[in-house]
Amino acid sequence: MAVAGAAALGLARLESVRALSGLLREPRRREMAEESVFRDLLEILMSASRSIEQSCKDSCGQADLDSCLLLVAECFRCLRNACVECARNQHLMRNLGLISTSVHLIKLLHGMQAKEELLLPALRCSLQFLGNIAAGNGDSQNSLWKCAFPDLFLMCLTYSDKKVVAYCCMVLFTCLDSEKVGELLDPGSLAVALHVLRVYKEQLESEWSFLIVTDHLLQCPELVKALYAKLSNQERVTLLELMMSKVSEKSCVSGEEMRVLARHATFLAGCFQEQCGAVLRLTDAAGAEDEEALVTIRLLDVLCEMTSSTGQLEHLQALPGLLETAIDTLRLTHLAGKQAVNVFTATHAVTGQEEVSHPAVGFKSHLIRLIGNLCYKNKENQDKVYELDGIPLILDNCSIDDNNPFVNQWAVFAIRNLTEQNERNQELIAGLEEQGLAEGSALESMGLEMEKQEGRLILRSARKKPS
C-alpha cells in the first residue's frame, strides 16, 4: 500500500507541475508567479538529482527512474515557459541557484542509462530552459557561462540527438560575446569551436551553428587561425564557405569589422600562397577529389570576393607576393592545359549542351579576376604584371573555354584595369597585335582597338561602328 501511495503521490505531483507549465505560457501568469513556485521546482530538481546519483550506486527500480525523468522534463518545461520575456523571473531563478542546479542535473542525465523517449525530453527541455533564462540577460549569461563552459557544451555538442545539439548551440550563441569568444582560444576550450563547425558541416539546417560561426567565431582572427590549423581539409572548405557568405554580405561594416576582415585577408592570402601548387594535382583524372586542391579553389574564391570589395581591395593590393602567386599559378595551369588534355585545357563544345562538373572549372577565370582586381587603379601592380610577362598570358586565355565560363569577360576586365592610365602596358598590347601575337579579334571582343599616333602604337576603346 505504501508503494501504491507513493506512486499516486508522484502522479499527482506530475499533473500539478504539468498544469502549472500550461498556465505559465500566459504572459500575465508569468508576471504574477511567486518565488515559492520556483523554490518548489528547485526542490523537485534537487531531489531528482539525488535519486539519479543514488541509482548509479545501487539498482534503483526502473519505474522510479521513469517517473523521475517525466517529472524532471515537466519541471524544465515549466521553468522554460516562466522565463519567456520575463526578466523578473530570470533574476529570481538565477538567485535561487536554478542555473547551477540545472547544469549539474544535465550532466547526470547525460551519463545515465534510461529509455530514450523519457531521457530526451528531459535533456531538450533543460537546454531550452537555459537558453531562455539567459536570453537578453547579461547576468544570467555570465552565471551560466561559469557553470557550463566548456564541459556542458562539449558534452551536448557531440550528443547523438540533433535537437539536443541544436538547443546546445542556441544556448552557446545566447551566451557568447567578444570576451567569451576569446576564451575559446584556450587549448582545452578550442574543441568547442571545432565541434560547432562540425555540427554545421553535418547538419546544414542548423541555424544556430551558422550564427555562432558567422556572428562570433569569424569576429576573432586569432581563433580562425587556430581553428584552421586543427581542421581537416573538408572542414576547411566548410569554414571558407562560411567566410565567403560573411564577406559577400552587402550591409555596411564598421571600422572594427574592416580591421577584422583585413586580418582574415592577410591570413587567407598567406594560405593561398603556401598551397596554390596543390591545384596542379587536378590535372590527373584520379585527383579530381584532392582535398587540398579543393581548399585552394575555395581560398581563391574568397580572395576574389574580398578584392571585389573596396574596403579590402587596397589592403590586398599591398600584400607582398599575392599578385605574383596569382600570375605564377595562372602560368602553370595554362601550361599544364597545353601539355596534356585535362581540366586546364581550353575546350569549346560544339553543341554547347555539355555540363562540366569538375571542381577546377572556373579556376583560371578566377585567377584572372583576382589579377584584374589587384591591378584596379594601382600603377605599381600594373607594372608588376608587365614585368612578370603577365599581359601576354592573360591575352592567351581570353578565348571561349567551357572549362572556364566567363573567362573572356574577366580577361576584358583585367586588360582594362592593366591599361588604365598606363601607356607602357597599352603599347605592349598594341605591339603584340602588330607582331601577330595578339589577335585583333581578341582585342575587338574586349572593346579595344589599336591605332598609330605620331608613330606610336596606342590601345584605345574601339569606336562604335554605325549600325
H helix runs in 114-206, sequence order? 116-134, 138-148, 151-157, 162-175, 178-183, 190-202
Which pLDDT tens digits describe the chain residue by residue (467 residues)?
334 444 555 678 899 999 999 999 999 999 999 999 999 999 999 999 998 888 767 655 566 788 899 999 999 999 999 999 999 999 999 999 999 999 999 999 998 888 889 999 999 999 999 999 999 999 999 999 999 999 999 999 999 999 999 999 999 999 999 999 999 999 999 999 999 999 999 987 689 999 999 999 999 999 999 999 999 999 999 999 999 998 887 665 778 888 999 999 999 999 999 999 999 999 887 666 789 999 999 999 999 999 998 788 999 999 999 999 999 999 999 999 999 999 899 887 644 444 557 888 999 999 999 999 999 999 999 999 999 999 999 999 888 888 898 898 999 999 999 999 999 998 898 888 666 545 555 566 556 665 656 555 555 666 554 43
β partners of residue 265: none
pLDDT of the residue at 64:
77
Cβ pair 301, 359 in contact under 8 A: no
pTM value > 0.75: yes
Q: What structural domains does the chain harbor?
A: 1-146 (1.25.10), 264-415 (1.25.10)
Buried b / exposed e over 42-53, threshold 16 CB at 10 Å, is bebbeebbebbe
Cβ pair 42, 97 in contact under 8 A: yes
Cβ burial of 160 (10 Å; 0-12, 13-18, 19+) is: exposed
3-state secondary structure of 353: coil
Give the whole-angstrom CA distance, residue 83 versus residue 225: 38
Phi-psi label, residue 321: left if phi above 0, alpha if psi -120 to 50, beta otherwise: left
3-state secondary structure of 248: coil
* CA distances to 24, 130, 275, 437, 440 from 395, in Å: 71, 61, 26, 9, 11
All residues at 6 or more sequence positions from 422 whose CB lies less than 8 Å from its CB, including other chains:
379, 382, 383
Instruction: Tell me which amino acid residue 133 is.
Output: I
Cβ pair 53, 108 in contact under 8 A: yes
Give the whole-angstrom CA distance, residue 318 versus residue 420: 19
Q: For the packed helices 407-419 and 423-434, what is the interaxial angle rounded to 10 degrees?
A: 130
pLDDT of the residue at 8:
52
pLDDT of the residue at 386:
97
